[in-house]
C-alpha cells in the first residue's frame, strides 16, 4: 500500500530561521527583518469581512497591550488587498469600537502564504487557514499553530505560549501541560547517569530522576 506522505518542501520548521519576506501591509512595506529584536506573532486569517475572522481580530487587538508588555508584535495576513484590509479595519472600528493596532499583510500573490505553508488545499485553495507563527527576536521560528477555517483561535493560549517560550529562554526550563505563569516548571532531565544520581539529591520536587519540578 502506498503510504507516502506529501511534505511541502517549503514548509517552515521549528528552531530554524523563519522565512524572510518583504510584503505590502497596512503599515507600508515591511520585511520580516524589520521586526528584529522583538518577538513576532505572524498569523493568517481566511478572508476580510468574515465573521470568525472579525472575532479573532477583535480578540488579537484586545490582546495587543499584554503582548506589548512582553515585547511581542502582531502581524496579520490574508490573501486580500491592502484596500480590503483598510476597509475591514475601519469597519471593525466603526461597528465594534476596536482599533486594530497591528499591520496586516496583503498577500494577493500568496508569496508569504506559500513560504509559510498557510494554504491548506484540502480546506481552500484561495484562502489561508488560521495559522500562527511565533518568531523570536533573533528571527527563529519557535512555534506554529494551525486551526481550520471553522474554528476561531484562543488568544489566551497564544499568550500562554509566549509566556512559556519566554520563561524557557530566561530560565532554561520546560513547562508542563496546562502551565501558566506562577505554576511550577519542569527541570530538564539529566543526560548522564551521574547527573541522574545528583538530581535525586538536588532539592527539587522530584518524582523520579527524570521528572523534577521547581518554582521560578
Partner 1 sequence: MPCMNNNGEITEMARKILTAMSESASLPEIAAKTDVPLYRIRGAVRELVEAGLAAEQDQNYVITEIGAAALKKSGISL
Residue 145, φ and ψ in degrees, nearest 5: -130, 135
Q: Whole-angstrom Cα distance, residue 23 to residue 205?
A: 49
Question: Would you say 130 is a known binding-site residue?
Answer: yes
Q: In the set 31, 70, 99, 171, which binds partner 1 (CB under 8 A)?
A: 31
Eight-class DSSP state of 150: T
Question: How many residues can be counted in the chain?
Answer: 216
Q: Does 27 bind partner 1 (CB under 8 A)?
A: yes
* 21, 30, 98, 145: residue in contact with partner 1 (rule CB under 8 A): 30
Minimum Å gap between C-beta 201 and partner 1 is: 47
Total Cβ atoms within 10 A of residue 183: 13
Taking alpha carbons only, the member of 162, 189, 164 closest to residue 176 is 164
Question: In the stretch 58-87, what mask flags binding to partner 1 with x, by CB under 8 A?
Answer: ---------------x--------------
Q: Which of residues 91-150 bind partner 1 (CB under 8 A)?
A: 103
53 included as an active-site residue: yes
What is the C-alpha separation between 94 and 211, in angstroms, rounded?
52
Residues that bind partner 1 (CB under 8 A): 27-31, 33-35, 37-38, 73, 103
| Residues designated as active site | 53
Amino acid at each position: 500500500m502506498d503510504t507516502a506522505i506529501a511534505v511541502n518542501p517549503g514548509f517552515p520548521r521549528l528552531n530554524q530561521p523563519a522565512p524572510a519576506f518583504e510584503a505590502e501591509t497596512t503599515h507600508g512595506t515591511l520585511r520580516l527583518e524589520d521586526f528584529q529584536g522583538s518577538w513576532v506573532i505572524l498569523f493568517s486569517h481566511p478572508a476580510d469581512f468574515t465573521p470568525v475572522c472579525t472575532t479573532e481580530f477583535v480578540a488579537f487587538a484586545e490582546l495587543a497591550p499584554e503582548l506589548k508588555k512582553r515585547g511581542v508584535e502582531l502581524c496579520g495576513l490574508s490573501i486580500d488587498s491592502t484596500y480590503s484590509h483598510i476597509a475591514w479595519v475601519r469597519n471593525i472600528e466603526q461597528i465594534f469600537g476596536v482599533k486594530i493596532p497591528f499591520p496586516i499583510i496583503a498577500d494577493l500573490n500568496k508569496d508569504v502564504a506559500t513560504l509559510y505553508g498557510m494554504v491548506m488545499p484540502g480546506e481552500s485553495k484561495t484562502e489561508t487557514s488560521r495559522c500562527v507563527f511565533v518568531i523570536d527576536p533573533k528571527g527563529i521560528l519557535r512555534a506554529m499553530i494551525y486551526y481550520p477555517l471553522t474554528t476561531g483561535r484562543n488568544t489566551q493560549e497564544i499568550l500562554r505560549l509566549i509566556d512559556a517560550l519566554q520563561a524557557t529562554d530566561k530560565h532554561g526550563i520546560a513547562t508542563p501541560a496546562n502551565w501558566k505563569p506562577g505554576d511550577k516548571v519542569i527541570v530538564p532531565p539529566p543526560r548522564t547517569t551521574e547527573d541522574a544520581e545528583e538530581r535525586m539529591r538536588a532539592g527539587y520536587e522530584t518524582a523520579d530522576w527524570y521528572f523534577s519540578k521547581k518554582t521560578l
